[in-house]
Structure 1
Amino acid sequence: MRRPAPKPATVVSVATLAVLLVLGVWSFIGLGFSLTGVLQSLDNIPQFVARTVPFAWPGWKYDRESASLLWEGWAPVAQFVGAIAMTLGIVIAGTFLAFVVSIPIAYGAARNTTPNPTVMAVCRTIGIVARAIPAIAFASIFVFLFALGPLPGILAFFLHSIGMISKMMADAIEQVDEGPRLAIRSTGGSRAQEFWSGVVPQALPAWIAVGLHRADINLRETVILGYVGVAGLGLELSNAIHALNYRRAFPIALTVILLCILFEVVSSTVRSRLLGVRPTGKGIGDTLVRAAARRSGRVAAAIEKPGTREQAIQAAMARPWTGERLASRVAIWAAVLVVAGSFAASQADWSDLFTFWGNLPILLDKENLWPPTFGIYKPEQVLGAILVTFQVAFAATLMAAVLSVVVGSFAARNVAPNKAVRTGFRGLLLIIRGIPELILAILFVIITGLGAQAGTLALAIGGVGLLGKLIADSLEEVPPGPERAMSAVGATRSQVYFASTLPMSIPAFVGHLLYLLEQNVRAATLLGVVGGGGIGLYLYDSLRVSKYDQVTMFLLLIIALVLVIEGIAIFIRRALR
């Protein structure tokens, strides 16, 4: 009997894995990555720990003569708390402004609401450009225009976040039930009435969820904005690193990690409450909320709204003032106060928006901004930096894939030998996901030195947290039939895994791998800011000396890199369907 031909999706999956494997190995060779060198750099850890421990938390100062910590007073503590409040204020204010401006852009970008194809093309182009230009580039330009402070950070997050928020908003608009909108149109309602009364009420919960997720991402990116002068914890960390004061730097880094975890937990809880379902995301916040819901019926009832959408609408039309409704009103006003408080906590001087015009002619001078040039760099140097950026991304993706297959498999319920092993590996993935990649990059630069090796290790370890979780979920979602059939005929656990569980999850694994590669290409363009090598290093050097004609050139190259990778990934995903 002739063996059936493999499915097209299987062929594409195997071919994609083969190409990524070849490119990953080529990248390791091209970067001169050496396992021996990495192991030798571990000898620096004792010296690093000696210069880092004990941590000098705010209010304390390390005295070298006595080799002990001395109390300085409460003033540094208050200053540190102010930096935390300012950081949160910058993140929330910038994300909120992006949320508001993204509404008309999403309206024009969505197929079912856009006035015409031209408006749709313009709005989608705005989103693509905003996503492709890094927040640090926006921040550097605004630092030049407004000087150091929180305002450049708010405006940078505002412009960069429009790209993601407007795209996700448009997707939510395209998925709404057309019934209410068409009913309003049939009664003579205007296009504005159709949108605000027929579309927005349905899409608003998803919009708010997107905004919260983007705020969580922006909080992680505050670390890198501090390197170009944006006030807050990022600037405090940058100053401590540049002063080689690691006892001071790592308490700040730990604070950032803790804020990221707490913010994600709160964000996940609010998103699940708005959407009426248990969270399904891959972040640490979603994971913790799901775990709490499994253990507590009260928590599950609080975040899950019973009934269908139609039942929820009918109930909303005649709701009494119950405790739940009062709590919702309180939550709405609390959100308003948080947003208003964020603008106050950011301490931004908004009057600068009316006084920066004096610096604008300098920025727009034809010799300063346009035409784009390589400046002091030769074309072959720039091409080499682009190549390094690609190699860092591919090498990190390959390393993360290898580690994630192992860690993710033991974190899967149907692969792990027992619950304790699964819980342990799930916990490991939670911890890794809670650490921003830039903090990992700083750590590896300190231990291994400047260069692409530190950037590769940072992206690889950070990628394990995301890819390992995705792989574990994919393995748990495979059909159990083939696994049970093999077990019934006496197959061992390893035979079931390699002959059934793993092969069935390969298409999903390829999709996750492409997503990680996209993220790594974006991140690899920025790791040069902290010494990770690649085109990001040239961009940071140009920003630091205000050579904006070079900045323009490097930004155009980065945009092209991101678009090429996104286009290839979209093409492969379509082939996998």
Structure 2
Amino acid sequence: MTATVTPAKAGKPGKAAKAAKQSPRGSAPEGPARGDLEIPSRPVPVQKIAGGVVLLAMLVFGAYSLSRMGFDFGYLTSAAKSVRAFFGTTNNTLSFPSVPNLIYLAGLTIGVVVLGTIIAALISIPVAYIAAANTTPSPWLHWLGRAIGVLTRAVPDVVIAFSVSLMFALGSTLPGVIAIGIHSIGMISKLFADAIEQIDEGPRLAIRAAGGSKAQEFWAGVFPQVVPSWVATTLHRFDINIRGSAILGYAGVGGLGYAMSLAFNQFNYGRGLGIALVIFVMCIVLEIISSTVRRNLLGIQPTGKGIGERIVRAATRNRPVPQASPSRPTGAQSSAASIEAAMRRPWTRERVRDTAWVVAALVFVGLSYWWSQVNPGQIMWKYVLPGITSFWPPSFGQAGATAYLNSVVVTLELAFAAALVAIVFSLVIGSFAARNVAPNGVVRNIFRVILTLLRGIPELIVALFLIVIVGLGPVPGFIALTIGGVGLLGKLIADSFEEVPNGPETALSAAGATRSQRYVSATLPQGLPSLIGNSLYLVDTNIRSAVLLGVVGAGGIGYYLTIASPQLNQHGEVTVLVAFLIVVVLVIEGIAAWLRSVFK
């Protein structure tokens, strides 16, 4: 087929000719330069308009909440003077338990966290199996698995520990194991299910075609592909649980957190802050160990985003990451010879090392069980059924529904105010911590170290320190959440800015743009969707953290949970507070998920 061109009719000039005649001599004709083509304007989708309105409303609420905090920079000046006066007192100097007692308390804490995390990792396997869209047996099981993940993730571990502590003696470790286990199921199962949905379907379908059962499809075709993700997520959750283990002491769980809470309750502030410092150092050491395990067991290079991972990365910079060897056939080696070699793998140095790490991990889990002193005999069985039924019916108690609703608002105000301030500081610090924004490597490293230090300090420690120095109120919780938020969000901003495509930045540099022009015109617009998503994640995290800080005196839901704890036999009020908390978290998670889909 050949294209034909129809010539214009004589005496009837085209539109371009008419435009040329009507235009002044020497000037270009109006309208498009080529033919009659016009670039259509793209209307803004209604969803993005609605999303922008919601974001604006959240910013306004954050500004309103900040005005309600009663915070000003004079507070910091007053706090600095109080700190000098506090440590100038002899009775408030830092002190520590004896070395044997310190080792015992640390082992108790580590054992509780390890057992709780392992239990959550094992339970997460069937939960993720039914939650993943490509492995679930039926649609209703898919939604059940996702609901289990959301609910267990919504309720903080300290709330669970409060709820089950009635059935145990004060100072028992089993409530901590149960609380960490239940709360960790939410995160591990969600990430594990997401990994299952992203697998290569080839092996699973091949097993099905060969007549394999559903169990064989999963264990032989699915699970081997997601083992690295499962182990890495479990280790990451272990790091988080170590940092949050201190708060469990306020629910009566034995360990360093319990010793710290007793010291503060007895007004022995020097001892309490000394134990808090030990918890901080222990978090760093265990993060180093976790990063080392990930590298040697999974062949995953540390990213250098945390204190421990930065140390491991620096120590192993010149060591190659383990790669597949001829004794480890890849998917491309599908010949009969490679299959035979895979069935009879020799004991190479890499295989011996990997086996040693697996054995060491199993020994560590066994030691953790011994350290934690978990004993089923700690369960007071005669109180189990009465304890469960005592949480029903729900009750507003003496405080009343209005007070509880106000506590929800206080928690939201605390979370949004801290998030708003953290976003401002994180955008500045995180930008200078990005390689493609910082003027040189020295500046980038300085701001990276600042973010690392801010992230390494648990919010609970900051809040307790300020409460001891300046007294109770929402401001200590606000400052603690802001510091932690800057460390978390600043790191995410720096990483997202470094990952933007460098094409627009390079083009602007070639055109002579300055560093600030390149940042405003290329880096920030490309990183804006990630900034919105990470900011929403910070708000979601702040709500849970605000509840925990309320337990130690920052106000909000956490304060009423402490008053209505099962130890005080106000179980119906705990039910109401937990229901409020679940509703708030689910609503925020739903809004955040919708906004991420709008601005992705």
TM-score scaled to structure 2, two decimals? 0.86
Please give the alpha-carbon distance, in whole angstroms, between the structure 1 residues aligned to 2:422 and 2:330: 40
Cross-structure match for 1:70: none
> Counterpart amino acid of 2:306?
G
Aligned residues of 1:282 and 1:470 also touching (Cα < 8 A): no
**1:302/1:547 Cα in 2 relative to 1: closer, same or farther (>3 Å)?**
same
Please point out which of 318, 334, 337 is paired with 2:360: 334
Cross-structure match for 1:43: 81
Look at both structures and tell me which one has the larger radius of gyration over its CA atoms.
2
Deviation at 1:141, TM superposition (A): 2.6
Cross-structure match for 1:278: 301
Please point out which of 251, 256, 272 is paired with 1:233: 256
Between stretches 505-514 and 317-326, larger displacement belongs to 317-326
Q: How does 1:375-394 map to 2 (within 5 A)?
A: 375-394=397-416
Aligned residues of 1:405 and 1:468 also touching (Cα < 8 A): yes
Q: How does 1:306-455 map to 2 (within 5 A)?
A: 310=331, 316-317=342-343, 319-353=345-379, 356-365=380-389, 368-455=390-477
> Counterpart amino acid of 2:386?
I
> Counterpart amino acid of 1:23?
F
**1:561/1:331 Cα in 2 relative to 1: closer, same or farther (>3 Å)?**
same
Count of residue pairs brought into register by the alignment: 552
- Three-state SS of the structure 1 residue aligned to 2:554 is coil
Please give the alpha-carbon distance, in whole angstroms, between the structure 2 residues aligned to 1:153 and 1:201: 31
- Three-state SS of the structure 1 residue aligned to 2:95 is coil
The gaps in structure 1 that reach 5 residues or longer are: 59-75
- Three-state SS of the structure 2 residue aligned to 1:563 is helix
Please point out which of 543, 552, 577 is paired with 1:554: 577
> Counterpart amino acid of 2:595?
I
> Counterpart amino acid of 1:572?
L
> Counterpart amino acid of 2:459?
E
> Counterpart amino acid of 2:384?
L
| 1:24-50 CA distance string (max 9 Å, x none) | 111112333333334333321212222
Please give the alpha-carbon distance, in whole angstroms, between the structure 1 residues aligned to 2:323 and 2:447: 28
Deviation at 1:318, TM superposition (A): 5.0
- Three-state SS of the structure 2 residue aligned to 1:113 is coil
Q: How does 1:163-174 map to 2 (within 5 A)?
A: 163-174=186-197
- Three-state SS of the structure 2 residue aligned to 1:359 is helix
| 1:405-454 CA distance string (max 9 Å, x none) | 11112211122222221111111111111121111221222233211111
Please give the alpha-carbon distance, in whole angstroms, between the structure 1 residues aligned to 2:43 and 2:481: 34
> Counterpart amino acid of 2:376?
W
Cross-structure match for 1:78: 100
Aligned residues of 2:109 and 2:372 also touching (Cα < 8 A): yes
Aligned residues of 2:297 and 2:354 also touching (Cα < 8 A): no
- Three-state SS of the structure 2 residue aligned to 1:176 is coil
Cross-structure match for 1:502: 524
Cross-structure match for 1:253: 276
Aligned residues of 1:31 and 1:388 also touching (Cα < 8 A): no
- Three-state SS of the structure 2 residue aligned to 1:399 is helix
Aligned residues of 1:487 and 1:496 also touching (Cα < 8 A): yes
Aligned residues of 2:304 and 2:313 also touching (Cα < 8 A): no
Aligned residues of 1:278 and 1:303 also touching (Cα < 8 A): no
| 1:447-500 CA distance string (max 9 Å, x none) | 332111111111110011111111111222233333334344443333332333
**1:6/1:57 Cα in 2 relative to 1: closer, same or farther (>3 Å)?**
farther
The gaps in structure 2 that reach 5 residues or longer are: 1-31, 33-38
Aligned residues of 1:277 and 1:305 also touching (Cα < 8 A): no
- Three-state SS of the structure 2 residue aligned to 1:572 is helix
> Counterpart amino acid of 1:25?
A
Deviation at 1:272, TM superposition (A): 4.0
**1:320/1:505 Cα in 2 relative to 1: closer, same or farther (>3 Å)?**
same
Between stretches 15-24 and 228-237, larger displacement belongs to 15-24
Deviation at 1:503, TM superposition (A): 2.7
TM-score scaled to structure 1, two decimals? 0.89
Please give the alpha-carbon distance, in whole angstroms, between the structure 1 residues aligned to 2:383 and 2:579: 23
Cross-structure match for 2:479: 457
Please point out which of 213, 224, 238 is paired with 2:247: 224
**1:415/1:121 Cα in 2 relative to 1: closer, same or farther (>3 Å)?**
closer
Say whether 1:32 aligns with 2:44: no
Q: How does 1:556-575 map to 2 (within 5 A)?
A: 556-575=579-598
Deviation at 1:322, TM superposition (A): 0.7
Please give the alpha-carbon distance, in whole angstroms, between the structure 2 residues aligned to 1:55 and 1:167: 41
Aligned residues of 1:13 and 1:506 also touching (Cα < 8 A): no
Cross-structure match for 1:67: none
Aligned residues of 1:53 and 1:247 also touching (Cα < 8 A): yes
Cross-structure match for 1:523: 545
Please give the alpha-carbon distance, in whole angstroms, between the structure 1 residues aligned to 2:142 and 2:126: 11
**1:308/1:506 Cα in 2 relative to 1: closer, same or farther (>3 Å)?**
farther
**1:402/1:317 Cα in 2 relative to 1: closer, same or farther (>3 Å)?**
farther
Please give the alpha-carbon distance, in whole angstroms, between the structure 1 residues aligned to 2:202 and 2:40: 49
**1:390/1:550 Cα in 2 relative to 1: closer, same or farther (>3 Å)?**
same
